Amino acid sequence: MMALRERAVVSLRSVPSLPKHVRIQYDPLRQAFAVLSPEKIFWPNDVSLDILRRCDGRSTVGDIIAGLAADYEAEQEAVATDVIAFLQEWSDKLLVRL
């Protein structure tokens, strides 16, 4: 029986970071930022980019949500729902480390 990786679950106390193999790079041709990982390239929208830039290995998910809600003058609850779902999806795809 093969041992499966335990799924990391996002909580407000999680401290997300980008693994070493993932980086954000500006593409002058498209004038947009790309997220590069081995064999995959992603084009994030500006909200995604703002979330990923805050995954610095120091801020908790709670900090990130509060910061974004203030920045966007948005309802914290709506921001929390989207940020947690986003981080869970990309943690599952190994693009974000929790």
Residue from 46, 30, 37 nearest 90 by CA: 37
> Sign (positive/negative) of CA torsion 54, 58, 60, 66?
negative
| Residue 17 C-beta: closest distance to another protein, Å | 17
Residue from 54, 52, 57, 60 nearest 95 by CA: 52
The neighbouring-strand residues paired with 63 are none
Residue 66 vs 74, nearer CB to another protein: 74
Residue 8 vs 36, nearer CB to another protein: 36
Residues that bind another protein (CB under 8 A): 25, 34-36, 39-48, 51, 68, 71-72, 74, 78-79, 82-83, 86, 90
| Residue 80 C-beta: closest distance to another protein, Å | 11
